[in-house]
Amino acid sequence: MCLSTIYKNELVPENMVMRNVMRIECKDGMVILTDLMERQMAIEGTLEMANLVDGVAVVKEAVV
């Protein structure tokens, strides 16, 4: 199983937003994250980077 930790804007510990993410969906300007317990979080922005070997991804938050 490949689970990831998601960070907002840059890969630094203080920007971690969700752990154990099993699904990432990009839809209508939103990045929708779903973790192992089926909890969801939506972030307005784009998926900037995903490294599945290291289990990390970065979501670039939209500037409002």
**Distance, C-alpha 25 to centroid of its chain:** 9
pLDDT at 63 over 90: no
d(CA 64, CA 53): 32
pLDDT of amino acid 38: 97
pLDDT of amino acid 24: 97
> 10-61 pLDDT, tens per residue?
999 999 999 999 999 999 999 999 999 999 999 999 999 999 999 999 999 9
pLDDT of amino acid 1: 67
Q: Minimal CA–CA distance to 30: which of 46, 7, 12, 16?
A: 46
Q: Minimal CA–CA distance to 34: which of 17, 15, 49, 46?
A: 17
* Residue 12 three-state SS: coil
pTM to 2 decimal places: 0.92
